[in-house]
Amino acid sequence: MASVVPLFLSFYLLLLLPCLVVAQTTGNVSLGIPIIASDNAEPWLSPSTDFAFGFRQLEKKDLFLLAIWYYQIPDRTIVWYANGDKPAPRGSKVELTAERGLVLSNPQDEVIWRSNWATGEVAYAVMNDTGNFVVFDRNSRPLWESFKYPTDTMLPTQIMEIDGLLTSRQKENNFSRGRFQFRLLQDGNAVLNSINLPSNYTYDAYYISGTYDPGNSSNSGYQVIFDEDGYLYVRRRNNVTFFLTPEDIVPSRDHYHRATLNFDGVFSISQHPKNFDGNQSWAVIRTFPDNICIRMNGAMGSGACGFNSICTLNNNKRPTCGCPTGYSILDPDDNYGSCKPDFQQGCEADGQISPEDIYNLEELPSTDWPQNDYELLKPCSLEDCRTSCLNDCLCVVAVLRGDGCWKKKLPLSNGRQDREVNGRAFLKVRKPEFTHQNPQPSFPSTKREQGTVITVVSVLLGGSVFVNLILVGLLCVGLYFFYHNKLTKFHRNENAIQSSLRHFAFMELEEVTNGFKEELGRGSFGIVYKGLIQNDPADPTAIAVKKLDGVVQDRDKEFKTEVSVIAQTHHRNLVKLLGYCHEGQNRMLVYEYLSNGTLASFLFGDLKPSWNQRTQIALGIARGLFYLHEECSPQIIHCDIKPQNILLDDYYDARISDFGLAKLLRIDQSHTNTAIRGTKGYVAPEWFKTVPVTTKVDVYSFGVLLLEIICCRRSVEMEIGLEKAILTDWACDCLREGNLDALVDYDVEALNDRKKLERFVMVAIWCIQEDLSLRPTIKKAMLMLEGIVQVSAPPCPCPFNSIS
Ligand SMILES: *[C@@H]1O[C@H](CO)[C@@H](O)[C@H](O)[C@H]1NC(C)=O
Ligand SMILES: *[C@@H]1O[C@H](CO)[C@@H](O)[C@H](O)[C@H]1NC(C)=O
Ligand SMILES: *[C@@H]1O[C@H](CO)[C@@H](O)[C@H](O)[C@H]1NC(C)=O
Ligand SMILES: *[C@@H]1O[C@H](CO)[C@@H](O)[C@H](O)[C@H]1NC(C)=O
Ligand SMILES: *[C@@H]1O[C@H](CO)[C@@H](O)[C@H](O)[C@H]1NC(C)=O
Ligand SMILES: *[C@@H]1O[C@H](CO)[C@@H](O)[C@H](O)[C@H]1NC(C)=O
Ligand SMILES: *[C@@H]1O[C@H](CO)[C@@H](O)[C@H](O)[C@H]1NC(C)=O
C-alpha cells in the first residue's frame, strides 16, 4: 500500500504536467504577474519553449540569479544574467511594471536590478524564441532587449555594435564580473583582453581580429554579427565580412549555436543538436585564441593563470593552471589563481651554507615565463646557466634557449608549458630541510649591495656603446676591488673564527666588569656579570661574563674542548661566545651582551608581549635547537631549555644561551646515562628513569617552554588554583575540550589567529609526550610550527599526571 500511493501520485502528476506547461506563461508576459525566487519557481518560456526567463538557484541554495537559459537541454546552459554581482536572496521577485520596466527586488522591496531605457510606458514583454527577452510599449515598439545588454554570450540574430562588450564570469558557477572581455573597438577590431579588477584598467589584447584598415576606413569593421544561420562574423563598412566561424556549419534549424566568453578567457563558438538522444552535449567548433597559454603575453597582468603559475592547454583548447614544484596555490578555492613560493626566496645570508646545498634546480621542459627577464647571458652553456642562477639570490628561474640564458625574477607571469615553447626552464626550489617561511629580517645590507650592482648593470644596458665600454672597464675594476675586499674580509672572519676565541686574563675581566659589580643573572652554572670592553674607546662593546662554579679541577682539557666546540657554533638564534678565561680556580665564559634581557622577564613581566612576537620567538628557539641537534658536529644537547636561558637581541629575536655547558654529548656517546641536570618543571620524565638521554629531552623542555610562550605564564603556578596550576595538564584539558580561549586568557590577538594557535598548542603537547618515541624531533616540531608539516591531534600525555 505504501508504495502504491506515490506511484499513483506520480502518475497523476504526469497527467497534470502538460496542463502545467500550458498554464505557464509562454511568449507574452503581462504586467504585474511576478515570479518569486524559490526552489520551484516557474520561469517565463518562449513560445517554442527553447528558452526560459526566470530564477536559477546558485550553489549557495538561498541565492538566485535572474537569467535566460536553454530550457530544452539537460545542462540548461545560461546565456544571459542580470544580477551576477548581486545574487538575489530567496523570496525576491521579478516583475514587469508599467513605469519602471522589468524590476528585480528583494523581499524588503529594495531594487536589486532593473532594465533601463529612455522613455515610454511598458505594455507587455516577450521571451522570444531567439533567446532575446524584449519589453514593448503599447505600440509594440521595443523599449528594452536583453540582446542589447549581453553578458558573456552571443546568440544567432544578435548584433554587437562599436564599443559593444562581453564580460566573462568569475568561475563556471560564479556569475560575478570576471577579468576577461570581448569587445568591438572604435577602430573596427574585435579583440579579447583582460582587465585589472576592480579598476577596469585594460591590459594588452590576446586576440585581435585584424578588421581595421588605417588607410581606408571603409575597410574597417563596424559590427559583430551572429546571423540566424549560425555564422559569426565581423562586418566591415563596405559590407565585406570577416568570418569567425568556419566555412560550413550545421544548420540552425536543428542546432543551437552560441558564442561564449568563458570564465578562463577563451572565446568559444559551439553547437548543440536540438533533437538529441540524451547523450550529446555542446560541441566546440572554434576557439579564440587558438592557444591562450601562448597568446596571453602582456607586460602587465598575470596572464591566463595567476602569478607564478604555469598554463597548459588541454584537449578542448582550454587552459589548465598549476603551481610549479615548491609553490602552492594562494587561494585554495581558485584553481586558476596565483601561486606562492613555499619558501623565502631572498638574499638573507644563509650562513656559510652554499646555495648548492640549499636549492635544487627543477628542470621543466618547454616552459617559459617570457615577461620576467632581468639578465641575459649569451653565449652561455647549460652548466654556466644553472650555476649562475643558483648563485644569484635574485634569480628564481633560468631559461636556456639556444646559447642564451635568461634569468628571471618574481613574480612570474604568463607562465606556459607547451610544445611551442622553445627553451628549458630551471626553477630554483629550496630543499625542504631549508624551508623557512617566516624568516626574521636580517642582514639587509647584503641585499642592498646586490641591488646596487644590478642597478648599475641596468643603467649600463641603456647607455651608448662608447660610454658603456668605459663604464664596463670601470665596473670591472670596481667589482674586482669590491669582491676582493669582501673575500679578504670573509677570510679574515674565518680565521677569526678559528683563533677568534680570545683568552682573557682574570685581571682583565675583573677590570672590565668593574670588579664583578653589575649582576645580569644567576644560572645553573654560575653568575653572569655585565662588562664593557674598550677596543675602540669611542664605542665600547658590552659583554656578558659568566663565572662558572663547580668546575672540577682535573677537567682542564675537557673545559677547553667544550669551549672550542661552543666557539664553532654560528647561528642567528644562538648567543655568540667571544672568549674565555682559564686561570687557576677561575673559569669564565665571555659572551656578547644582549640588550633585551631574558625571555623569562619578557614573558612574565608586566607588559605582555604581542602574539606575533611570541610566535616569532618560539620559531627562533626551535631553529636554534634544530641547529644544535642536527647541524652541529658533535651534536649538542642543551639539557636545560627554559625561559631564563633564552635571551632576546635588539630585534627581540630569540637567542639560546648556556648550550654546550651540560655534558657535551658526541653522537656515539649520546646513549650514556647522566646524572640529572636541568631545571624542575622543564625536565623530561626519562631523567627519572634508567634510559639514555637523547635530544628528546630538549624537545620535552621546548614543549613546556612553548606552552609558557603561548600562555604567557609559568609552567607551574600553584597560587592560581589546582585546575590550572600545572600548565601542561591544563593545556591538555583545554585542547581536549576545545577551550583555547581560556588557555590564552582570552588574548584577542592569539584568538584571531586561531589556526596557528591551535597548531602551536598541538605541537607543544606532542613535545611533552611521556613516551619519548611519540615526541617529534625538533626538526619536525619546527616544520609543524611553520605550518609546512601537518599536525594531527596529539594524545594526552596523561601518565605524567600520576607523577604530579
Ligand atoms: C501580447 O499582449 C499584448 C497586450 O496584451 C498584445 O497587444 C500583443 O499583441 C500580444 N503579443 C503577442 C505576440 O501575443
Ligand atoms: C522574435 O524575434 C523575431 C526577430 O526579431 C521576430 O520576427 C519574432 O516575431 C519574435 N517572436 C516573438 C514571439 O515576438
Ligand atoms: C564570486 O566571486 C567573487 C569574487 O571572487 C566573490 O566575492 C563572491 O562572493 C563569489 N560569489 C559567490 C556567490 O560565491
Ligand atoms: C568597472 O566597470 C564596471 C562595469 O562596467 C562598473 O560597474 C565599475 O564601476 C567600473 N569600475 C570602476 C572603478 O570604474
Ligand atoms: C577604400 O576601399 C574601397 C574598397 O574596399 C575602394 O572602393 C575605395 O576606393 C577605397 N578608398 C580609398 C580612399 O582608398
Ligand atoms: C551594406 O548593406 C546595407 C544593408 O545590407 C546597405 O544598406 C548598405 O548600403 C551597404 N553598404 C555598402 C557600402 O554596400
Ligand atoms: C552515449 O555515449 C556513450 C559513450 O559516449 C555510448 O557508449 C552510448 O551508446 C551512448 N548512448 C546513446 C543512447 O547514444
Mind giving me the DSSP string for 269-326? Answer: EEEEESS--S----EEEEEESS-HHHH---SSS--SS-TT-EEEE-TTS-EEEEPPTT
CB distance 48 to ligand 2 below 6 Å: no
* H or E element in which residue 707 lies: helix 696-711
Nearest atom within ligand 5 for CA of residue 219: 5
Q: Could you read off the pLDDT of 81-138 as tens digits, one per residue?
A: 999 999 999 999 999 999 889 999 999 999 999 998 778 899 999 999 999 999 999 9
351 pLDDT band (50/70/90 cuts)? low
Average pLDDT over residues 239-254: 90
> Lowest mean pLDDT: which of 125-139, 150-164, 230-244, 555-569?
555-569
Q: Could you read off the pLDDT of 478-510 as tens digits, one per residue?
A: 444 444 443 333 333 333 334 467 888 888 888
CB contact at 8 A, 248 and 302? no
Predicted pLDDT at 221: 94
Average pLDDT over residues 291-304: 94
Rg (CA), the chain: 37
678 pLDDT band (50/70/90 cuts)? low
Instruction: Say which of 342, 640, 658, 729 is annotated catalytic.
Output: 640
Q: What whole-number distance in Å separates Cα of residue 154 and Cα of residue 79?
A: 8
CB contact at 8 A, 580 and 503? yes
Predicted pLDDT at 258: 97
Distance of CA 662 to the CA centre of its chain: 42
Q: Which ligand is nearest to the CA of 238?
A: 6
Q: What whole-number distance in Å separates Cα of residue 395 and Cα of residue 347?
A: 10
Predicted pLDDT at 195: 97
- What's the gap in Å between 199 CA and the centre of ligand 4? 7
Spatial CA neighbour of 27 closest among 13, 44, 12: 44
Predicted pLDDT at 85: 95
Q: What whole-number distance in Å separates Cα of residue 224 and Cα of residue 190?
A: 8
Please indicate whether residue 640 is annotated as part of the active site: yes
469 pLDDT band (50/70/90 cuts)? very low
CB distance 170 to ligand 3 below 6 Å: yes
Predicted pLDDT at 349: 63
Q: Could you read off the pLDDT of 769-784 as tens digits, one per residue?
A: 988 889 999 999 998 9
Average pLDDT over residues 138-157: 96
Predicted pLDDT at 1: 39
The model carries a pTM of: 0.59
Q: Could you read off the pLDDT of 623-636 as tens digits, one per residue?
A: 999 989 988 877 88
Q: Does the annotation flag 86 for ligand binding? A: no
Predicted pLDDT at 436: 52
All domains of the chain in start order, with CATH = 23-149 (2.90.10.10), 151-289 (2.90.10.10), 331-434 (3.50.4.10), 446-499 (no CATH), 502-592 (3.30.200.20), 599-803 (1.10.510.10)
Q: Is the dihedral of CA 531, 534, 535, 539 positive or negative?
A: positive
555 pLDDT band (50/70/90 cuts)? low
> Lowest mean pLDDT: which of 47-56, 551-560, 606-615?
551-560
Average pLDDT over residues 279-299: 92
Q: What whole-number distance in Å separates Cα of residue 179 and Cα of residue 166?
A: 11
- What's the gap in Å between 570 CA and the centre of ligand 3? 50
Q: Whose CA is nearest to atom 5 of ligand 7?
A: 279
Q: Is the pLDDT of residue 278 over 60?
A: yes
Spatial CA neighbour of 699 closest among 685, 687, 684, 714: 684
Predicted pLDDT at 124: 94
Q: Is the pLDDT of residue 799 over 70?
A: no
Nearest atom within ligand 7 for CA of residue 279: 1
Q: Which ligand is nearest to the CA of 146?
A: 2
Q: Whose CA is nearest to atom 9 of ligand 2?
A: 128
Which burial class, exposed, middle or buried, applies to 277 when counting CB atoms under 10 A from its CB (0-12, 13-18, 19+)? exposed
Average pLDDT over residues 457-480: 42
Could you write out the DSSP letters of every residue in 478-535?
Answer: HHHHHHHHHHHHHHHHHHHHHHHSEEPPHHHHHHHTTTTTSEEEEETTEEEEEEEE-S
Nearest atom within ligand 5 for CA of residue 215: 14
Number of neighbours of residue 668 by Cβ within 10 angstroms: 9
CB contact at 8 A, 686 and 695? no
Q: Is the pLDDT of residue 450 over 50?
A: no
Q: Is the pLDDT of residue 463 over 70?
A: no
Spatial CA neighbour of 566 closest among 576, 581, 558: 576
13 pLDDT band (50/70/90 cuts)? very low
CB contact at 8 A, 102 and 125? yes
Q: Burial letters for 290-328: b for 16+ Cβ neighbours within 10 Å, e otherwise?
A: ebbbbbbbbeebbbbbbbbbbbbbeeebbbbbebbebbe
- What's the gap in Å between 42 CA and the centre of ligand 2? 22
Q: Could you read off the pLDDT of 162-213 as tens digits, one per residue?
A: 999 999 999 999 999 999 999 999 999 999 999 999 899 999 999 999 999 8
Predicted pLDDT at 435: 63
Residue of 234, 238, 239, 240 best suited for mutating to test ligand 6, as the one with most atoms within 8 Å of CB: 239
Q: Is the pLDDT of residue 447 over 60?
A: no
Half-sphere exposure of 125 (CA within 13 A, CB side): 30
- What's the gap in Å between 470 CA and the centre of ligand 4? 52
Q: Is the pLDDT of residue 80 over 60?
A: yes
Predicted pLDDT at 552: 56
Q: DSSP class of residue 466?
A: H
Nearest atom within ligand 3 for CA of residue 58: 13
Q: What whole-number distance in Å separates Cα of residue 617 and Cα of residue 646?
A: 9
CB distance 773 to ligand 4 below 6 Å: no
Q: Whose CA is nearest to atom 9 of ligand 5?
A: 216
Q: Which ligand is nearest to the CA of 199?
A: 4
Spatial CA neighbour of 183 closest among 155, 223, 133: 223
Predicted pLDDT at 550: 63
Q: What whole-number distance in Å separates Cα of residue 590 and Cα of residue 520?
A: 13
Q: Is the pLDDT of residue 470 over 70?
A: no
Q: Is the dihedral of CA 752, 755, 756, 761 positive or negative?
A: positive
CB contact at 8 A, 65 and 84? yes
* H or E element in which residue 429 lies: strand 424-430
Q: What whole-number distance in Å separates Cα of residue 603 and Cα of residue 709?
A: 7
CB distance 215 to ligand 4 below 6 Å: no
Q: What is the amino acid identity at position 626?
A: F
Q: How much is the mean pLDDT over the chain?
A: 83
551 pLDDT band (50/70/90 cuts)? low
Q: What whole-number distance in Å separates Cα of residue 101 and Cα of residue 124?
A: 9
CB distance 176 to ligand 3 below 6 Å: yes
Give percent of the chain above pLDDT 90. Answer: 50
The ligand 1 site (C-beta within 6 Å) comprises 27-28, 123-124
Q: What whole-number distance in Å separates Cα of residue 407 and Cα of residue 388?
A: 9
Give whole-number Cα distances, 35 to 19, 30, 108, 128, in Å. 19, 12, 15, 18
25 pLDDT band (50/70/90 cuts)? low
Q: Could you read off the pLDDT of 508-537 as tens digits, one per residue?
A: 888 889 888 888 887 667 788 999 888 766
Query: In the beta sheet, which residues pair with residue 109?
Result: none
Cell of 496: 677569526
Predicted pLDDT at 277: 72
Cell of 180: 576577461
- What's the gap in Å between 124 CA and the centre of ligand 1? 7
